[in-house]
Chains A and B, each alone.
Chain A
Amino acid sequence: MTPDHSAILARLQSALPAARLAHLRNPGPSGQDSLLVAPDHLVAVCQFLHNTADLAFDLLSNVTGVDWPEPAKADAVAVPTEGTAPATCGFLEVVYHLYSTTHRMGPLVLRARTEDRANQVHIPSVVAVYRSAEFQEREIFDLFGVKFTGHPDLRRILMWDEFLDHPMRKDYVAPDDYQYEPTPHDAVLEKAQRHYPAPH
C-alpha cells in the first residue's frame, strides 16, 4: 500500500513546524511521490516517522544517491507541487525508501539535497535512527561523494581507500588505462599513439 504523502507531509509540518518540507509529484505511471526534506531536519523527520505508532516506518529499505548536474532535470522527475524555489545550481541528492513492516505500508520516499556538487556536499547521517543506512551511506559517500555528518565509520566501501574520484558522478571520466599491444590497429592504434611517440 502506497502511503498518502500529502497526509504525512501535513502531520510532519504540525509536529516539526521548523522543518522545511515540500511534496514532490512523480509524473510517471508509478505514482510514487516523494517528500523533499531540508537536511537540517532530516534526522528529526526520520525519528518522527520511525517512532509515531500509527506510521511506524521501521524499515529503511533503500538509500540511493543521485547526481543532478542540471537542476531542471531534477524538477522534471520530481515535480514541486507548490511554489518551491527551484534550485539554481546542480546538486547531489540522497533518496530514502521507507517501509512499515507492521502496517504493510510503503514506499515512503524522502529526498535530501546538498547545496551544490563541489564543497557543500553534507547531509546528516540517519544511522542513529536506521542502522540499515550504515553501509549504504558509505557506498553513496564512496561513489557520489556525499559527506554524511555523524556517520560512525565513513570510509570508502567498494573502491579502494586510495581512490580519489567519485565514479557515479555524471562528469566522472574513467582513467585512460592503456596496455601495450604489439600490433595495435584502429581505435587501439589511436590510443597507442597518444601514449607512445610515433615510430621513426
Chain B
Amino acid sequence: MIDNPSMPFAANPASMPELDEDQLLHVSLGPQHPSTHGVFRMNVVLDGETVVSLKPVFGYLHRNHEKIAEGVTYLSSMPFTDRLDYICPLTNNWAYAQAVEKLAGIEVPERAEYIRVITGELTRLINHTAFVGFFLGDMGAWGSALMYAFREREKILDLFEDLTGARMMSNYMRFGGCRNDLPDGWAARASVLVNEFPRFLDELENLVTGNEILIARTQNIGALPKETLINGGITGPMLRAAGVAYDIRKAEPYGIYDRFQFRVPLGTTGDCYDRLMIRFLELRESLAILRQALDQLPEGAYIHPKAKIRNFKPPVGEAYARIEGPKGELGFHLISDGSAKPFRYRIRPPSFINLTLLEDMCLGLDLADVVLILGSIDIVLGEVDR
C-alpha cells in the first residue's frame, strides 16, 4: 500500500526485524523533560538500548491558534504570531505581514524592508546562538554554553525592547511596513553589536567545536539521504546540513534579499555535527547581511502612507507566502472572503514538519542519541502545537 521507500519499518511491517515482544521496553519520554524543549512526548520502544520504534505525541500546547485567528480581524492575529516560535517573534511577524501584503497587494516602503531584514537577521542570531546553548545542554554540558549564548541574546533583546517595547512579544510588523521607526541611535548601537558579535562567535566556536566528546556524540548520528529529507518536507538548516542548497532567501528572494551578498553554507553528511556547524556558518552570513543592511539603510517612511490599519478588508482571494525562518520554511496560507476576518488562516510551521522524519533518524540508535537528534532539529513547542 505504501511504496514510499522513505517510510520507516513501523509503517512497513515487512521490513521489521524479528523482535521478542517480551524483551522490549516501552518508554514514555516527556512531556515534562528538559531535553524535550517544552511539552513534547515520545513513545519510544527499546530493544536493550536500541530504538526500534518512536512515535511523537503532540498537542500539549495546542490552543487552536488558527481557529482563534478566524474569529478576529487580520491585525488582531499579529500579536498571536509572536507566540508561535517565541524565540523568534519578529520573523513570525514578518511571515504573516508578508502573507497579508500578498493577499491584499500592499506595497512596502524601502526603509521598512530594511528594518525587516535587520530585525529578521538579528532574530536569526538569537535563534542560532540559543540553539548552540540548548544543544550542548542536551549533550550534558548544561549551563556554560547556554549562559554565554543567553548573555549575547540579552544584548539583542535590549535592542528589540527599545524598538518594539518588548523583549520577546514584539508585535512589531504591520501590513505595509512596521509599527514605528527606529529610535534615535538604534542603528548605530546595532552596528556596534554586529561588529562585536564575531568575537563572541569565535569564543563560542572555540569552546565547542574541537571538543572530543562533542565530536564523539554528534558525528554519524541522525543523518538521512538528501532525497528523503526533501520528500519529508524538511527545510532550513536541517536540509542545508545535508548539502541541499535550498535557502528561500536565494531560491525565491522575498523583500530585498536579492540586494545582499551572502553565501548559503552547506554541510556534507547531514549528521548532528553538521547541523551544529551549519548554524555557526549561518551566523556569520547573517552578520554579513546585517552589516550591508545597516550600511545601506535609507531614510524614508517606515510604513506605507496609505496602509489601512482600521477597517482593513483584503479583496476576495487567497495567498501563500513563506520566508526562510531561522528554523526552516515558515509559511502562511490565507483565504479572504472579502470580510475583515480571514476565512482561513493556516500556518506552515517549520518545527512541526521537521519532526516528520524524527523516527527515521532515530531508528537503530541509542536512546541517548534520540535526545541529541531532537535537539538538532531545533523545535519550539509553541509552533509545533499551535
Contact = CB atoms under 8 A, between A and B. Distances in A.
Interface string A136-169: 1000000100000010110001111000000110
Nearest to A62: B348
A153 B53 CA distance: 13
Interface in B74-105: 102-105
Contacts of A76: 316, 337
A88 B96 CA distance: 34
B336 to A, nearest CB: 7
Interface stretch (A10-18, A53-61, A114-122, A181-189): A53-61
A32 B320 contact: yes
B1 A150 contact: yes
A77 B317 contact: yes
Interface in A79-126: 95, 97, 101, 104, 106-107, 109
A77 B103 contact: no
Given A135-B353, A158-B62, A159-B59, A59 B233 contact: yes
A152 B7 contact: yes
B328 to A, nearest CB: 10
A28 B320 contact: no
B62 A134 contact: no
B237 interface: no
Nearest to B11: A152
Nearest to A1: B252
A131 B232 contact: yes
B344 A131 contact: no
B58 A61 contact: no
Contacts of A38: none
B357 A131 contact: yes
A127 B315 contact: no
Contact of B319 (A28, A58, A59, A61): A28
A29 interface: yes
Nearest to B314: A28
A131 B7 contact: yes
A164 to B, nearest CB: 15
A27 B317 contact: yes
A197 to B, nearest CB: 32
B313 interface: no
Interface string B229-241: 0111111000000
A29 B317 contact: yes
Contact of A62 (B66, B231, B320): B320
B120 interface: no
Nearest to B5: A131
Contacts of A134: 356
B355 interface: yes
B251 interface: yes
Given A29-B102, A131-B6, A152-B7, A107 B320 contact: yes
Interface string B32-62: 0000000000000000000000000011001
Nearest to A101: B246
A136 B103 CA distance: 23
Contact of A131 (B4, B343, B346): B4
Contacts of B11: 152-153
A28 B316 contact: yes
A158 B59 contact: yes
Contacts of B235: 59, 61
A28 B333 contact: no
Contacts of B104: 28-29
Contact of B67 (A29, A101, A106, A167): A167
Nearest to B231: A131
Interface centre among B227, B246, B317, B329 (most CB of A within 10 A): B317
A101 B102 contact: no
Contacts of A104: 251-252
B318 A30 contact: yes
Contact of A130 (B233, B252, B335, B385): B233
A73 interface: yes
A181 B225 CA distance: 57
Given A28-B316, A29-B102, A136-B353, 8 more contacts: A28-B314, A28-B317, A30-B105, A30-B317, A61-B329, A73-B343, A131-B4, A131-B7
Interface of B: 1-4, 6-7, 11, 58-59, 62, 64, 66-67, 102-105, 227-228, 230-235, 244, 246, 251-252, 314-322, 329, 331, 333, 335-337, 343-344, 346, 348, 352-353, 355-357, 385-386
25 contacts: A27-B317, A28-B314, A28-B316, A28-B336, A30-B103, A32-B318, A32-B319, A62-B320, A64-B333, A64-B346, A77-B317, A97-B348, A128-B3, A130-B233, A131-B4, A131-B356, A134-B356, A136-B353, A152-B2, A152-B11, A158-B59, A158-B64, A158-B385, A159-B62, A168-B64
7 A-B pairs with least C-beta separation = A28-B317, A132-B233, A29-B105, A30-B319, A152-B11, A158-B59, A62-B348
